[in-house]
Structure 1
Amino acid sequence: MKVSKTFAFCAAAITCAALLPAAANAAEDVVIGVIVPTTGALAPLGIDMKNGYELAAKDHPTVKGKPVRLVIEDDQGNAASGLMKAQKLVIKDRAPILVGGATSALVLGLAAQADRLNVPIVTTNAQAVQVTGAQCNRFVFRTNPNDAMVGNATRVLMQKRPELLQKNGSLSTTTLSGARATRQSSPKSRASKSWGGWPLNGNG
């Protein structure tokens, strides 16, 4: 369940926030800046993430004796809007850590300005390898698997447990679609006509 996974990830973020110096004008609170889309096309995902963060804060209401306070901003599923909300959270709300990031586009945009924001940015959903790849920013962290990890796990699943896909038509279709997309985007992958014995060229 996504809420449970997000809950666990946010609990870790709250723990990280406890290790950071408190802002001068919010000495009594541990402020966590949350950036998620609560309106627009990505609202269902953003609301799910927000619920997870709120559950984590409810379960861990204090750190080092100080109350946790979430300040939630709606990025509307737009990277430019997300950057403005991040600046607001850091400058006005004095959040010493930012969490969220429903899309890789948003997180990569924040990463480009991370040195100026000067606070840790923890994404629980962005999957692009570049988010925490070789050229990533030192302020950016990820708690979820990246696309390469998911692709490798899918390949292993297709090789070792094909019956799981055969019994689940929608999962099979989604998995093969992802594999084909990976093949089209990678010259090395384009040389392969199958992945774990499953065809990558047809519609099957």
Structure 2
Amino acid sequence: MVSMVGKKKSSNLIRLGSMLLIAALMVSGCGSSPKATTEKKAIKVGIVDTYTGGAAVYAKDSLDGFKLAVKEIAAKGGPKIEFVTRDDEFKPDKSTSWAKELVMKESVDFLAGTTNSASSLAVSQYAKESKVPFIVWGGMSAQTTGAAGHRYVFSTLPNTAIIGKAGAVQLSKTPYKKVWLAGSDYEYGHSVIDNLWSNLTTLKPDVQKMGETWWRVGETDFTPYINAIRSAKPDVLVVGTGGADMVAFMKAVKATGLTQDIPVWAHTCYDPATLRPLGDQAPEGVMGTNPYLANYPDTPENKAFVEAFKKEYSREPAAFALYGYMGGQFLGQAIEKAGSTDKEKIIDAMEGLTINTPVGKATLRKEDHQVAIPMSYGVIAKVNGVFTGTDLHTLSPEEIMPSVEAILKARSK
């Protein structure tokens, strides 16, 4: 009987010892825990953009900027970010199809890209329905973070409301009153023109719209349009176009000598992504706006960015490289701020986030997820044998951003 009691005590001691050992292992972290696994998880980004055709120059710049940001984040021991790409060929239906494939088959955590504004809106709607965060660094439609904005979409580039306001400020400082509006017949073209005209009539009530001209996307012969506009004799021609149309139109402006008779305005006219393919066919004197140049702003931060980009890709960064770079930096710093790879927590961290960029402080406004950065305006000129933007002036975000009240009102309709 004494022997049986001894065995019972021994058994209890073994059981107690086992429990203490398990507790010690859990406290010391020797066992696997959900938190440890989560912290090591990579965020996977599915990028849908235009990698063939005329608009590919912008998509390539955006992608390279993003890749540079991811590399810098990794070098500092930051969050791990992986990515895969798909070519939408500048077609909104393909953009949406690829976005769905990336989410359902590739299991991406974030979506990004879309140079085509209509594609941005289409993918944004899918992102909203599927609750997958979407970083827009290509499409400029004001609707993306305006009337059609929602929790799951962010924009790291100025939209057409901002571009329109900046362009209106520039044109309001000129003597031109009789205005002809023109552009490519798609979302971006109409949106930038509508926003510019709305702002210009407010800043300069005596302006007059003489007429409008719209050409199909992919137009190659602009001579008939230019001849008709020239015969109307407006004081200034305001153009809303981009991608391959932008380059083709600028070549036509040069070939027809249009600026000798009528001043021309176009957003990104002096951006390197526009000027590089033009070569010696860039038309001097064209006015426009642009948020970034490799030599502007002339700051240590921008010089460091340019040096890093040139080292990586053997060319200078253009505006879209900045947009992709900011997209990567915002994502990486939001993951760090959230302390988690949970998508909802990262969204919370991105809202109102301010980071240092080559153009100074940049903030993703909490209320609409629209990035706030400065914008320059100037004209194309040849300097030391190279076409670039000159006579540059800077507008602060406060001067060109739509008000939060206006955004909320648009979303309530």
TM range (shorter): 0.5 to 0.7
Once superposed, which parts of structure 1, at least 4 consecutive aligned residues long, lie more than 3 Å away? Answer: 62-66, 175-178, 181-186, 194-201
Q: 2:120 aligns with which of 92, 107, 124?
A: 107
Q: 1:67 aligns with which of 56, 76, 80?
A: 80
Q: In 2 relative to 1, CA 139–197 (structure 1 residues): closer, same or farther, beyond 3 Å?
A: same
Q: Please, which runs of 5 or more residues in structure 1 have no aligned partner?
A: 1-23, 166-172
Q: In 2 relative to 1, CA 199–82 (structure 1 residues): closer, same or farther, beyond 3 Å?
A: same
CA distance in 1, matches of 2:129, 2:147: 20
CA distance in 2, matches of 1:144, 1:184: 18
Aligned to 1:55: 68
Rg bigger for which structure?
Answer: 2
- After TM superposition, the structure 1 = structure 2 runs for residues 88-103 of structure 1, keeping only pairs within 5 Å, are 88-103=101-116
Q: Does 1:116 align with 2:129?
A: yes
Aligned to 2:21: none
Return the offset for 1:158.
2.5
Return the offset for 1:112.
2.3
CA distance in 2, matches of 1:149, 1:136: 15
CA distance in 1, matches of 2:192, 2:102: 40
SS at match of 1:132: coil
Q: Does 1:86 align with 2:99?
A: yes
SS at match of 1:50: helix
Q: 1:35 aligns with which of 38, 48, 61?
A: 48
Q: Report percent identity of matched pairs.
A: 26
Q: In 2 relative to 1, CA 115–62 (structure 1 residues): closer, same or farther, beyond 3 Å?
A: farther
Q: 1:76 aligns with which of 84, 89, 93?
A: 89
CA distance in 1, matches of 2:138, 2:162: 13
SS at match of 1:71: strand
Structure with the bigger percentage of strand: 2
* Matched residue type, 1:112: Q
Q: Work out the number of aligned pairs and report it.
A: 165
CA distance in 2, matches of 1:63, 1:114: 30
Q: In 2 relative to 1, CA 108–62 (structure 1 residues): closer, same or farther, beyond 3 Å?
A: farther
Q: In 2 relative to 1, CA 124–183 (structure 1 residues): closer, same or farther, beyond 3 Å?
A: closer
Q: 1:156 aligns with which of 145, 169, 183?
A: 169
Q: 1:143 aligns with which of 136, 152, 156?
A: 156
SS at match of 2:154: strand
TM-score w.r.t. structure 2 length?
0.34
SS at match of 1:110: helix
Contact 2:42 2:80 in 1 (8 A): yes
Return the offset for 1:121.
0.7
Q: In 2 relative to 1, CA 85–63 (structure 1 residues): closer, same or farther, beyond 3 Å?
A: farther
Contact 1:156 1:196 in 2 (8 A): no
Q: Please, what is the CA RMSD of the aligned residues? A: 3.7
Return the offset for 1:34.
1.2
Contact 1:155 1:196 in 2 (8 A): no
SS at match of 2:85: strand
Q: 2:146 aligns with which of 108, 133, 144?
A: 133
Contact 2:46 2:83 in 1 (8 A): yes
SS at match of 1:60: helix
Contact 1:41 1:77 in 2 (8 A): no
Return the offset for 1:89.
1.6
Aligned to 1:10: none
Contact 2:181 2:193 in 1 (8 A): no
Return the offset for 1:134.
3.1
CA distance in 1, matches of 2:102, 2:64: 19
Deviations 1:24-73 (A, max 9, x none): 9xx64221111111113321221121111111111112797552212111
CA distance in 1, matches of 2:46, 2:75: 16
